[in-house]
Amino acid sequence: MSDVVPALDVVGLNAFYGKSQVIFDLDLRVDPGETVAVLGRNGAGKTSTLLAIAGVVSSRAGAIRLAGEEISPARSFQRVRRGLSLVPSGSRCFPNLSVKENLDVVRPARNGGVRWSSADVYAMFPVLERLRDASAGTLSGGERQMLAVARAMLAAPRVLMLDEPSEGLAPLVLREITARVKTMNEQGVGVLLTEQNHRFALKTADRAYFLEKGQIVWGGDAEEAREPNVIGRYLAV
């Protein structure tokens, strides 16, 4: 058994929308410098899993540990300050602010997470530097996604969660996002992503989990997850 303290360790998580339970006794782990994919059919609970870990969706019972620290009692903004960053689907940004202003609003965590400066993220995403004075609402979908990832990086995350990062993106932009994820892994950041595009996810990830009706039904190496019998069993409609 590995002695590495997981960047993110979720044990027995149950999550609810009101009185409706959507996540059941969920266990997952992300190690430092590792990318883990959560896959499943539409409605399986992928986004709800990330929202529950982020504290946006109510959780009852279970433990969520960030670098060994229990964060279940913490509110969403407190989890961010402790090093948990979420990039939700839809490339959300402040449309009336410039690219620079969207980045300037970020306060880095103070817990030993990897720190990047604005200069660092501009170097990683040169298009954002060229557009730094442009209104974020005028950006393309790919540019907004880059901005969302850059903003999450500035929060000095220990763990970065990406919800459907490939949605609506051109292959060139997706390669750019993937390269930045690998850069974060090299710096020791753990990445947890959900995806409908399982080919992209399993090419990017080290390990994968499959969800069905809010429950983990399979977990293992990404290479094993690419096997046709596994894909056919858990993703075929």
Annotate 108-119 with DSSP letters as a single string: --SSSPPP--HH
Note the pLDDT tens digit of each residue in 178-230: 888 898 899 999 999 999 899 999 999 999 999 999 999 999 999 999 999 99
**Comparison of pLDDT for 207 and 18, the residue scoring more:** 207
Which long-range contacts link 119-122 to residues 24+ away (Cβ below 8 Å)?
Answer: 120/153, 121/150, 121/153, 121/154
CATH tag, 8-234: 3.40.50.300
Note the pLDDT tens digit of each residue in 98-126: 999 999 988 776 666 778 888 989 998 99
DSSP state letter for 58:
E
Is the pLDDT score of 1 beyond 50?
no
Note the pLDDT tens digit of each residue in 144-161: 988 998 998 888 899 999
| Contact partners, residue 178, CB within 8 Å, separation at least 6 | 200, 204
What distance lies between CA 234 and its chain's CA centroid? 21
Q: Is the pTM of this model over 0.85?
A: yes
| Contact partners, residue 33, CB within 8 Å, separation at least 6 | 185, 186, 187, 188, 189, 190
